[in-house]
Amino acid sequence: MEEQNGQSLLGKKVFFLYPPSVIRENLITQLLEQEFEVYMLKDHKAARRLLRTYPNSIIFVNIDAGLSEKEWEEWIRATMADPALAKVGIGIVSYNTDESLQKKYLMDLGIQCGFVRLKLGAEESAKILIETLKANEARGRRKFVRAACTSDSLSGINVKEGQKQINGTIRDISVVGLSCVFDVDPYFKKNSVLRDVQLRLRGSLIKLEAVVFGTHADDTSVYVLIFSPKMDNVSRSKIRNYIQISLQNEIEAQAGGIMGDTARA
């Protein structure tokens, strides 16, 4: 992963292993709004193999599920002892308030990303997680999470100009803009305002305004559009939800491939 001054330009993937419902239904949303790249995993064997693929990532383990507490201790010790995973940050999430359990993971095992007690409540837990991720530079120098869309045939863009409709394919998207290729090059000029843009993101339709930022230097058929700051929160939430689903599907496909390769080996 490219780095500058020791800091990742792309940020770190943040995994939650066996996340409880409060994380799946509440905390994930708050982390996404802070532009962290978050994934949920439900297989500890695939998780460790994914960590080898992304050795600069962070993983929060829910020690209340999946394995016994003793087995989790062994799993975490083995993960930390693996030289290939030396840069992986490990944290714990749990409803268990036993002080000796916290001490074991924080002091004896020396996990780097804290022990989040979920009994503190969703807001306090979210605050702790966000502070922990910021301290571990999880966003890197990247400001916005972006999802690739080139393999998604259910999504697209169209722009209306007068009586003319221009259709296109989305290459990638974030909450602030996208890159796309139109079926027929409209030759949009830089800084042109597109007042009637419709995005089709699988089951969601979003109408908005955008400004033409320009084209890619290495491929002038790829246009970069910046969404109007007047975009409403509902549309922004739909885009963020689409990004999260796309990224989650991608990591699950990778995890499935990893497990499949292991089974065939």
Look at residue 2 in the predicted model and tell me its pLDDT: 42
**CATH fold for the domain made of 3-143:** Rossmann fold (3.40.50)
Please enumerate in sequence order all residues whose Cβ is within 8 A of that of 54, keeping only pairs 6 or more positions apart, or say none.
Answer: 12, 13
From CA 211, how far away is CA 228, in angstroms rounded?
7
- Provide the H-helix boundaries in 58-143: 69-81, 99-103, 122-135
From CA 139, how far away is CA 13, in angstroms rounded?
9
CA atoms within 13 A on the CB side of 188: 27
Model pTM? 0.87
Statement: residue 182 has pLDDT above 70: yes
Please enumerate in sequence order all residues whose Cβ is within 8 A of that of 258, keeping only pairs 6 or more positions apart, or say none.
Answer: 46, 49, 50, 53
Q: Which amino acid is at 110?
A: G
Instruction: Dig out the tokens for 82 from the structure.
Output: 């693996």
Look at residue 9 in the predicted model and tell me its pLDDT: 62
From CA 200, how far away is CA 217, in angstroms rounded?
26
- 3-state DSSP assignment of residue 84: helix
- Helix 44-53 and helix 69-81, axial crossing angle in degrees, nearest 10: 20
Read off the pLDDT band of 8 (50, 70, 90): low
pLDDT digits (tens, 9 = 90+) for 134-160: 999 998 888 899 999 988 888 999 999
Statement: residue 121 has pLDDT above 90: no
- Say how many residues make up the chain: 265
Phi then psi for residue 153, to 5 deg, are -75, -10
- 3-state DSSP assignment of residue 58: strand
Look at residue 151 in the predicted model and tell me its pLDDT: 86
pLDDT digits (tens, 9 = 90+) for 202-243: 889 999 999 999 998 888 899 999 999 999 999 999 999 999
Delimit the domains of the chain by residue range. Answer: 3-143, 147-242
Read off the pLDDT band of 255 (50, 70, 90): confident
**Residue burial 59-83, b: 16+ Cβ < 10 Å; e: rest:** bbbbbbebbeeeebbebbeebeeee
From CA 179, how far away is CA 173, in angstroms rounded?
7
Q: Which CATH architecture has domain 147-242?
A: Beta Barrel (2.40)
* Strand runs labelled E in the chain: 3-4, 7-8, 13-17, 37-41, 58-62, 89-94, 115-117, 147-148, 155-161, 164-173, 177-182, 193-201, 204-216, 219-227
